[in-house]
Amino acid sequence: MQIIRSANLTLEPQLATHAEVMFDVLSDPAVYTYENEPPASVEWLRARFARLESRRSADGEEQWLNWVIRCQPSEMIGFVQATVRANDSATIAYVIASSHWGRGLASEAVKAMIAELAANYQVRYLSAVLKRDNQRSMRLLERLGFALASPEERIRADIEAGEQLMQMLIAQP
């Protein structure tokens, strides 16, 4: 994994040493309106980040790519991640602190990660799963070129009730 730079952001490979600062970022209650829950403690988050540093699933079938997002010059504001599979596909996710919503930073970070996935990991197909009510995230994905998956794809992906599956084919140069 390498550092990714965009106009306003730096994406750094996530490490256990990021846990303390990221705990504060990930303790933002607004982030969990639709998804998951905040980390239980700094220690829990440090252990999770340490496990993810392997960059591989236990069976070796998936690459786990996680980057923390720094807003220029150095403030940590969230993360982007991708689970890359051998079939040229990846599932992505992202979290940005609510204090940075509405500024285009999530879009910029995800776009930079997608470019990295296409260029250096040969990813051609992307998917993202989100709660149906999370309209902010749905609009972000639509602006990036994602579309709702077909009912057949939803069934194949075993998407839960109340969730949406969005997909995108990355255009080749």
Per-residue pLDDT of the chain (173 residues; tens, 9 = 90+): 899 999 999 999 999 999 999 999 999 888 888 877 889 999 999 999 999 999 998 898 999 999 999 997 789 999 999 999 988 999 999 999 999 999 999 999 999 999 999 999 999 999 999 998 999 999 999 999 999 998 888 888 888 888 999 999 997 65
What is the reported pLDDT for 155? 83
Q: Model pTM?
A: 0.91
152 vs 155: CA distance, rounded Å: 5
CATH class of the domain at 4-169:
alpha beta
What is the reported pLDDT for 107? 95
CA distances from 154 to 131, 158, 163 (A): 13, 6, 9
Q: Which helix (H) or strand (E) holds 118?
A: helix 105-121
Within 10 angstroms of residue 83's Cβ, the number of other Cβ atoms is: 17
CA distances from 120 to 94, 124, 138, 157 (A): 19, 11, 26, 25
User: Where do the structural domains in the chain lie, given as residue ranges?
Assistant: 4-169
Contact yes or no for 127/170 (Cβ under 8 A): no
What is the reported pLDDT for 41? 94
12 vs 14: CA distance, rounded Å: 6
* Token pair of 98 as six digits: 């609510």
What is the reported pLDDT for 159? 87
Q: What is the three-class DSSP state of 67?
A: strand
